[in-house]
Amino acid sequence: MNPSPDFSSAHDCRVESAQPHEWHAGGVDISLLKESLAMSPWERMLANDDALNFADSLRAAMPRRNAKP
Amino acid sequence: MQNLSELMRRLIASQVDFVLVGGFAAASHGALLVTRDVAICCRFSEPNLMKIQQAFSGVNPVHRARPDLPLNLTPEECRSLKNLYLKTDLGVVDCLGEVLGVGDYDEVSQHAIELNLPVGRCQVLDLETLIKAKEAMGRDHDLVTVRHLREIENLRSKN
């Protein structure tokens, strides 16, 4: 019988990479909000464009993935 | 390809009298929500509407409700318009004659702050008034935006 695989190192990795999150009761991620406020208004507008285009590219990719060959 | 920032640059370069309102204004204040359109409150005078038309020349502006109808404003149209909902190659622009919960362009501009952007100076609805406007709109996504804006208000008051 093979020994069970040891996932302990992967688990440790996951724990180490977990960043502390500062959540508000309203569901707003305060740490992300602080990152946003550290940017200039123009940088925030460009970030909106980037996020929008990324979301659109994902949306466009989904029908291609689901298309029958 | 959406390019709302380029739409902003064009409005500024064409010297349109406008105040940025809505989701893109919320994003400029720091809200984390992504918006698909640029909403502006502007003076619905013929010269200002013609500047809007000029701002979007070359990016195929059409009326959103009638995409077969290119933007080709006449003086008669300018006199009758209250809002102008446009779609361009760069994205959607909503031009509003007034903002719910705030008022018309003259009222809105009294609650605007000036941002000095790399593409020029731009008037944006201030945080407090944007919250008021979003609350007046009252749709689900407006109320989520309000939560973000209130947290931004809290964070700013602590700094």
| Higher pLDDT among residues A14 and B39, named by residue | B39
Q: Find the distance separating the first CA and the last CA of chain A, reported in whole Å.
A: 41
The answer to whether A29 touches B155, Cβ cutoff 8 Å, is: no
How high is the pLDDT of residue A19? 54
pLDDT given for residue B78 in this prediction: 92
Are A48 and B35 an interchain contact pair (Cβ–Cβ within 8 Å)? yes
Provide the pLDDT for residue A42.
96
Residue A20 has pLDDT above 80, yes or no: no
Look up residue B43 and give its amino acid: R
Q: Chain A residue with minimal CA distance to B33? A: A48
N- to C-terminal Cα separation, chain B: 37
CA angle A58, A62, A66 (to 5 degrees): 165
Whether chain B has a CB inside 8 Å of the CB on A31: the answer is no
pLDDT in tens, B63-79: 999 999 999 999 999 99
- Picking from B28, B38, B158 by the largest number of A CB atoms within 10 A of its own CB, the best residue to mutate is B28
B5 touches chain A (CB under 8 A): yes
Tokens of B154: 């809290």
Could you give the percent of chain A with pLDDT greater than 90?
42
| Under 8 Å between Cβ of A39 and B117 | no
Asked if the Cβ–Cβ distance from A48 to B3 is below 8 Å, we say no
Q: A64 falls in which pLDDT band (50, 70, 90)? A: confident
The pTM of the full predicted model, rounded to 2 decimals, is 0.87
- Per-residue pLDDT band at A25 (split at 50, 70, 90): low
Strand B91-96 vs strand B37-42: parallel, antiparallel, or unpaired? parallel
Residue B109 burial by Cβ neighbours in a 10 Å radius (0-12, 13-18, 19+): middle
B151 pLDDT above the threshold of 60: yes
How far is A58 from B70, CA to CA, in rounded Å?
A: 30
CATH T-level topology, domain B4-158:
Beta Polymerase; domain 2 (3.30.460)
Q: How far apart are CA B41 and CA B13, in angstroms?
A: 17
ipTM, two decimals = 0.91
| Dist. CA A35–CA A58, nearest whole Å | 24
The number of beta carbons lying within 10 Å of the beta carbon of residue B23 is: 22
Query: In the 8-state DSSP scheme, what is residue A2?
Result: P
